[in-house]
Structure 1
Amino acid sequence: MNIAVIPARGGSKRIPRKNIKLFHSKPIIAYSIECALASGCFDRIIVSTDDAEIADIARQYGAEVPFMRPAELADDYCGTLDVMAHAVSTFETMDMATAHICCIYPTAPLLLPEDLQRGEQILRSHAQIQYVFSAVAFGFPVQRAIYLNNEQEVSMFQPEHAKTRSQDLLESYHDAGQFYWGRGQAFLEKQPFFAPHSRIVELPALRVRDIDTPIDWEIAEFFYERLHPRHD
């Protein structure tokens, strides 16, 4: 059984009620639910939340909320793996087989169904793969990154690459913060995402924006408008 888990707590601080804030006229969590439904990858789509209003909205858009997340797993310090391990252990008590699970963040309006489909295909391609997650290439070589000391003097993190040609530097990627396909046991054991047992689905930069601040929100809406132009 393939299960999508959308973790959506109610206590976001920098953007209050972020997971159900209106994004182009509908709650932002609706995009993740609708994307999961459109992908055809999942037998069940479940929202893990501690918040009754989020639960109600999730159900309106086609997700299930068969359990409420305990308060100790809904604070600012609880990580994704903790929430996912709780979900998988809860599924076991409900006699739900969880071979393949996909954690989809509730603030991923730029995610497409085919991204989820590609992730599932990669996960199924080899038994050694434990996770497949979305990632994007850095726009500038990280080997050329600089920092400032207390006197605001400039230094390179890797000065040995000061004269290395860009085309000779290894390309680097970062987590796109949209989804994590994984095997149920890997989530249950809280195996790390960033390890040799993982693979990526590379996304274009125009479809990646981590939404943590109001400015992030505005940029994500701009990206969405570019990708989904309205014809009035």
Structure 2
Amino acid sequence: MKNIVIIPARGGSKRLPQKNILLLGGIPLIAHSILYAQANNDIIDSVYVSTDDAAIKKIALEFGAKVIDRPESLSGDFESTVSALKHVLEQIEEEIENVILLQPTNPLRPENLLQEAFDDFLKEGRDSLFTVSRSERKLGKIENRQFIPFNYTIGQRSQDLEPLYFENGLLYISKAELILPFDCAQGDSKIISENAFPFEVNHIFANVDIDTLEELEYAEYLLKKKVLRRA
């Protein structure tokens, strides 16, 4: 039984063209997730990149990942991530127990995150886990040109808000059988199940999700701050 990392990386980014191979800290964006997985080789048996792009494939191989060529039918703008994960599992002959999803657009992760999350995943005995962060914002919606508070009352202090959390995308862990059902009775493929364990991560890296040039520049700033602290 094996634990693998899958990094889905399409070539057709619209808002930030070729974002997965743009440099962050002097190396391609996708390489950060590959290296992070490799640094946890006591947990991870293999690292796979699913892509439809020749340049991404070349970089992934150079950094030591295995590559699964994603067919065009699974590479469109509206294709789900789980379809890419399922396709990878269908190409692997070995029996896989757990899949760790690392999204290349979330390249900065706390050093011990994967180890701590995986330990909790095993301890909790759930079939999936995903990372969340607490939101400190006062949220609301606008109806008929009027702002309607959602999680607070006007004048309420931020520190008195009821805790709300957001899915930060840093990592996901799923049993392979959840992604690739062995029979139709198990239902549709999923990454997160109804009993998924929410692993809380309140770290500045949880706010990094790169889809624009400004977000890439912000990640570069945080990365430089991290390096300077080590110097």
TM over 0.5: yes
The alignment covers a number of residue pairs equal to 222
- Kindly indicate whether residue 147 of structure 2 is the aligned counterpart of residue 154 of structure 1: yes
1:149/1:162 CA distance change after superposition, 3 Å: same
Alpha carbons 2:102, 2:172 under 8 Å: kept: yes
2:86 counterpart of 1:82: no
After superposition, residues 127-138 of structure 1 pair within 5 angstroms as: 127=125, 129-138=126-135
What SS does the corresponding residue of 2:133 show, helix, strand or coil? strand
Offset at residue 105 of structure 1 (A):
0.8
Point out where structure 2 has 5 or more consecutive residues left out of the alignment. 181-187
Higher strand proportion (structure 1 or 2): 2
Runs (4+) off by over 6 Å: none
Q: How far is the alpha carbon of 1:111 from its aligned partner?
A: 1.4
Q: Deviations over 1:61-82 (max 9, x none)?
A: 11111x3111111111112122
Work out the CA distance in 2 between the residues paired with 1:193 and 1:166.
30
The letter for the 1-side match of 2:197 is S
Following superposition, the deviation at residue 23 of structure 1 comes to 1.1
Aligned-pair identity (%): 31
Aligned to 2:179: 187
Whether contact under 8 Å (2:132, 2:198) holds in the other structure is no
Cα distance, 1:169 vs structure 2: 4.0
Shift of 1:171: 1.1
1:177 aligns with 2:169: yes
Is the partner of 2:222 in helix, strand or coil? Answer: helix
**Partner Cα separation in structure 1 for residue 151 and residue 229 of structure 2:** 45
Alpha-carbon deviations, 1:2-57, whole Å to 9, x = none?
10101011111111111111112110111111110012221100101111211110
The answer (yes or no) to whether the contact 1:130–1:182 under 8 Å persists in 2 is yes
- Please, what is the CA RMSD of the aligned residues? 2.3
Task: Give the drift of 1:215.
Answer: 1.5
Counterparts of 2:221 and 2:112, CA distance in 1: 22
Shift of 1:110: 1.0
Partner residue in 2 for 1:218:
217
- Equivalent residues in 2 for 1:1-232, closer than 5 Å: 1-40=2-41, 41-65=43-67, 67-91=68-92, 94=93, 96-127=94-125, 129-140=126-137, 144-150=138-144, 152-157=145-150, 161-162=153-154, 166=158, 169-188=161-180, 189-191=188-190, 193=192, 195-229=194-228
Distance 1:208 1:155, change over 3 A: closer
TM-score (norm 1): 0.85
Q: Secondary structure at the match of 1:117?
A: helix
In the TM superposition, what whole-angstrom CA distance separates every residue of 1:121-154 from its partner, at most 9, and x where no partner exists? 1111133x111122211122xxx4233345x332
What's 2:183 paired with?
A: none
Quickly say closer, same or farther: Cα 1:58–1:72, change in 2 above 3 A. Answer: same
Q: 2:105 is matched by which residue type in structure 1?
A: T
- 1:207 Cα deviation after fit: 4.5
Mapped to 2, the partners of 1:134 and 1:43 lie a distance apart of: 22
Query: Which TM-score applies when normalising by structure 2?
Result: 0.86
Task: Give the conservation status (yes or no) of the 8 Å contact 1:8–1:48.
Answer: yes
Unaligned runs of 5+ in 1: none
Q: Indicate the residue corresponding to 2:185 in structure 1.
A: none
CA distance in 2, matches of 1:47, 1:158: 39
The Cα of 1:108 is off from its aligned counterpart by 2.5
Q: Relative to 1, partners in 2 of residues 1:192 and 1:58: Cα closer, same or farther, differing over 3 Å?
A: closer
Amino acid at match of 2:175: R
